[in-house]
Each structure stands twice: as C-alpha cells, then as structure tokens.
Amino acid sequence: MEVTRREALRSVVSKCVPVATAALVLPEARAAETTSQPKAPVGMLYDATLCIGCKACVVACAEANDLPRDVSLDGLHQAPEDLNAFTKNIIKLYKPHDQSPDSFVKQQCMHCIDPACVAACPFKALWKDDENGIVAWEPSRCIGCRYCEIACAYHVPKFEWDMINPKIVKCELCRPRLAKGYEPACTSVCPTHAVIFGPREDLLSQAKERIEQSPNKYFENRVYGEHEAGGTQVLYLSHVPFEDIGLPDVGAAPIPARLNWQKRIYKFLALPLLMYAMLASIMKKNWIDHRREMREEEERTGLRPQL
C-alpha cells in the first residue's frame, strides 16, 4: 500500500513527539526539584542542658503574640500540656522512670529549610520567607484543609478546632518583633540563655564549638537540625537521646523530596497531556468502529443505539 505523505508525517510525529517531550522535560523537571534556600536564614539554638524549666519563654511568647489564656488543663490555671491553638511555645519535661538523666525540652516550630507544610499547602497559606526563612501563615489564603498538620513531622501546626473562623497557629519567630529590630520574645527572656537567636550559620558554629569544648556531654556529639529533614533553622543540643525529647529521626532528606517524582511527572503538565493525546487518538479510532457498530445494531434491532 502506498504510504501517503500525510500518513508518513503523522506516523513520524506520533513517535517523535513523545520521545522529544520526555527528553526535554525530564532534565528540566529534575532541576526543579532543588528548592530555593533562604538568603539569610535566622533561627534559634536551644541547649537542653542549660534549660531550667522556668517557662519564662512560654509566658513571653503568649504575651508577645497576644494569645488568649490557655486553660485547657483544668479550666482555671494556665498550664498547657501541649502546643495547641492557644500555645505556640511550650516547655515539656522528659522524666524517665529509671535513674537516667531527665531533660526539659522547648517545643515550637522548627522552621525547616525545606518545610513539608509549605510543600503541602495547596494555596501557599504557609509560606517561607525568601530572606530570613521564617515559615509563616497567611489567613487570607488558608482553606483549613489541615494538610500541614498531616505533613509536619514535628506536629507543630495546630488548628483552632472550636472556632467558626479557625486559624492555624504556630510559632512564627515573632516576625513583627524582628521587623522592629528585636529578638523573638522567648529568646529575649531566657534567664540562662538556653535558647538564643541569631543567623543559622552562627548558631550552628556556636553549637559545634560547644560540642568540641565538652566532648561526650551532648548526645552523639551532634546538633539536631543540622541535616535533619534537609536542615531546620531551629537547632537542638541535648544530653539525652533526641527521640526522647520529641525530636524524631526523620532522616537527612527533606520531606518534600518524596514528591519529586510527582513534580517530574507533572512538570509543564507534559506527561499528562501526552497521556491524554495518546488516549484521545486511541479513542478516536475506536469511536469510528463504535459508530459503525451502532449503525449496524440500529439496522438490526430498529432501536436507537445507546451511547
């Protein structure tokens, strides 16, 4: 059979276009996986060996953020048990039943370098500042889907379950105070400087210095947050295992890296469009056959064909 020019062109196109698209798109998609780093990330260094559990940071945070009284414990006293819709910062106590040492731990947002919550949020309500890397929440964009709560490995974002206009509540490193040149409230009141504020690099080197000066004082002689989940801007030093003070072993890969294949597949919507094109071309061919059969059936039975 003679191959017409049109048919030849069509067959070439139908084979080359997918290959070319894939070849062009995938490297591009691979490159897009690396997320941008903040230019001058700031953070906190919390040294659990220095913390005395005075809870001045809890009080200062509540005051600086104008939070309502958290009386969730007994309805009377301000003694929150966990981060929640009224508490952005909390001191907890790890007290083992045996004679091994106990430790206080300060919990708040870790301000990850590549946050899972930011990757999760469908409308960028949780966003990371390009300059200082603070992860903040924007109320006008949030739809209250709580995907951030699912994604966060540290269980930081909290939802106002009982409100008709619920917010996501979490530490935002006192952005308004930083804008005025102050430190975050918690670091500014700590009497023992257990938690300090500063650029992440400085804090990291300071933490490493402390480890060097007192070998075997700190757990595994390392800083938590240097590499965990791709690095966090809030760093931890502890004398007890990190797991015991609520810092899970999340590995060195950032959590959004798990979406890399999704990003590759959906880059430029190329592969979905390719899939659609393939399906549409098959459908077109089958549709012609189907219409022919419908006509035959109509002739045979006299009934209108059903689609």
Partner 1 sequence: MTRSRKPKTTVAAHLKRCGVPRRDFLQFCTQLMVAAPWGLAITEKATAAEVAREIGQARRPSVIWLHFQDCTGCSETLLRTSKPDLADLILHVISLDYHETLMAACGHQAEAVLSQAVKDNAGKFVLVVEGSIPTKDQGIYMKLAGKPALNVLKDVAAQAGAIIAIGSCASWGGIPSADPNPTGAVGVDDIIKNKPVINLPGCPPNPYTLLGVVFQFARKGTLPELDELHRPKFAYDRVIHDHCPRRGHFDAGRFALQYGDEGHRHGWCLYKLGCKGPDTHAGCSTRHFNEIPDVWPIGIGAPCIGCTEKHLAFRVPLFDHVPIHDATPPDTYPPVHVSTGSISSAGVGMVGIIGGALGGAAWVAARRFRSSEEEVAIIEANHRNSQKDTPDVGGR
Partner 2 sequence: MKHVIVRWQRGVPVYALPKITPFFVFLCGMGALSIALSAYREWAGLGPTTGMNDIYAWGIWKTFNTMVLTGLGSGGFSIGIAAWIFSRRDLHCVMRTAVLTSLVAYFSGLVALGVDVGRPWNFYQVLMPWRWNPHSPLLEVALCMPLYACVPLFLENTPPLIERWYYTWPRFRPFMMKHLVPIIRTTYPYVIALAYALPMMHQSSLGALMLLGGSRVHVLWQTPFLPLLYVWAAGFLGYAGVIGVLMVACISWKRPIDMCILGVLGRIMSWLVLSWNAFRFLDILARGQIGAAFALDRFSLLFWLETLLLIGPSVYLLWGDNRRIPSRLFQAAVLIAVGGMLYRFDPTTLAFTSRPGAVYFPSAIEVLIASGYVCLAMAAFVLIAKYLPILPAPTSAWYDMEHYARVVHPDWKMEIHDLSHHNRPNLAN
Q: Using CB under 8 A, list all residues that contact partner 1.
A: 53, 73-74, 76-82, 90-95, 104-105, 244-246
In the complex, what is the shortest distance from the CB of residue 246 to partner 1, in angstroms, rounded to a whole number? Answer: 4
Q: Which does 48 bind (CB under 5 to 8 A by kind): partner 2, partner 1, none?
A: none
> What mask of x and - would describe binding to partner 2 in positions 283 to 302, judged by CB under 8 A?
xx-xx-xxx-x------xxx
Q: Which partner, partner 1, partner 2, none, binds residue 276 by CB below 5 to 8 Å per kind?
A: partner 2
Instruction: Check: CB of residue 254 under 8 Å from CB of residue 232.
Output: no
| Nearer to partner 1 among residue 151 and residue 271 (C-beta) | 151
Residue 121 site contact among partner 2, partner 1, none (CB < 5 to 8 Å, cut-off depends on kind): partner 2
Structure tokens at 90: 């909390």
Nearer to partner 2 by C-beta: 178 or 259? 259
Sign of the Cα pseudo-torsion (116, 120, 126, 129, in order): positive
Q: CB–CB of 195/233 below 8 Å?
A: no
What whole-number distance in Å separates Cα of residue 242 and Cα of residue 274?
Answer: 47
Q: Is 131 near partner 2 (CB under 8 A)? A: no
Residue with tokens 């402390």: 210
| Closer to partner 1 by Cβ: residue 91 or 270 | 91
Closest CA to 234 of 116, 88, 106: 106
Among 209, 212, 234, which residue's Cα sits nearest to residue 224?
Answer: 234
Residue 202 interacts with partner 2 (CB under 8 A)?
no
The 3-state DSSP class for residue 172 equals coil
302 contact, one of partner 2, partner 1, none, CB 5-8 Å limit per kind = partner 2
| Cβ pair 231, 222 in contact under 8 A | no
User: Quick check: 241 binds partner 2 (CB under 8 A)?
Assistant: no
Q: List the one residue from 79, 262, 295, 296 that touches partner 2 (CB under 8 A).
A: 262
Cβ proximity to partner 1, 13 vs 71, nearer residue: 71
C-alpha–C-alpha distance, residues 254 and 266, integer Å: 20
61-69, 178-186, 206-214, 243-251 -> range binding partner 2 (CB under 8 A): 243-251
Half-sphere exposure of 300 (CA within 13 A, CB side): 7
